[in-house]
Amino acid sequence: MRSASCVKPPSRRSAELRFGRFNHGIGFPSPPPEGDPPDIILTEEQPQHIYEFPAGSVWDLFLAVLGVKKIPTTRDRIEAGFESYVNLYNFAPDQVDTLRRIRDAFVANLASQGRVDVDAIFGNPIYARLIDSFEQTNQRFDGRLQEIVAEMQKSFRVGA
Could you list the pLDDT tens digit for every one of the 160 residues in the chain?
555 555 555 554 444 444 444 444 455 556 656 666 666 776 778 777 777 777 777 788 778 888 888 888 778 888 888 888 888 888 889 999 999 998 888 888 776 666 677 888 888 888 888 888 888 888 988 899 889 888 888 877 654 4
The Cα 64–Cα 127 span in angstroms is 35
pLDDT at 18: 47
The Cα 97–Cα 88 span in angstroms is 16
* 3-class secondary-structure state, position 32: coil
Distances (CA, A) of 151 to 1, 12, 60: 37, 53, 27
pLDDT at 97: 92
Q: What is the DSSP string of 90-156?
A: ---HHHHHHHHHHHHHHHHHHHHHS---HHHHHHSHHHHHHH--HHHHHHHTTT-HHHHHHHHHHHH
Nearby residues of 38 by Cβ (< 8 Å), 6 or more positions away: 32
Chain centroid to CA 130: how far? 26
The Cα 129–Cα 122 span in angstroms is 9
